[in-house]
Structure formats: C-alpha cells, structure tokens
Amino acid sequence: QVRVEGSVRRLPEEESERYFYSRPRSSQIGAVVSRQSSVIPDREYLRKRNAELEEKFRDAKVPKPQYWGGYILEPEVVEFWQGQTNRLHDRIVFRRLRD
C-alpha cells in the first residue's frame, strides 16, 4: 500500500491538451470512448464505440474531451506499508524537508 500527502492542483488546459495529443491515437480515442467513472453497459459497447470513433476520426484530429485533464501532486509525505502475516508490518515514511 502506498499513501501520498501533499497539495494538488489542476493541470492548466494548455498542458492537458499538449499531453493528450502526445499520447497514441488509440489512447486518445479510448479517452473519448470510456469517460472515467461512467457506467459502461458491457465490453461490446466499448468495442463498438471504439470502432465507430476510429472510423469517424480516421482522417481527422481526435478532439480532446472537455472533461479530460490532469492534476499535479506536490508530495509532502510518502508512506509505504506492507502487511506481514505475523502482523509485524513494514512501514516506511518519507517527508519532504524544507529549507
């Protein structure tokens, strides 16, 4: 198990767009097909929708979805925890030092 504490901010739109278009075309289409956390009826729906979008954007740029973006995490604490069968667990914590 890994736990991270720190400040998080949304990635600026320009950086999100630059990253989106640096990804393989199949990943761009996948981002449009399966919006994260949305309910998907079944795998066949994904396959069919993916094929439709492959055809639709065959000769065109895949538009970055408005909802697609990223976050920047500036970690202050990183904790690694590994459970042991005898309950003598391993826990290692790293903290950022400030000047």
Catalytic residues: 87
Q: 48-66 burial by CB neighbour count: b if 16+ within 10 A, else e?
A: ebbeebeeeeeeeebebee
Query: What amino acid occupies position 96?
Result: R
90 CB-near residues (< 8 Å, 6+ apart): 80, 81, 82, 84
Which residue spans within the chain are E strands per DSSP? 2-10, 71-82, 90-95
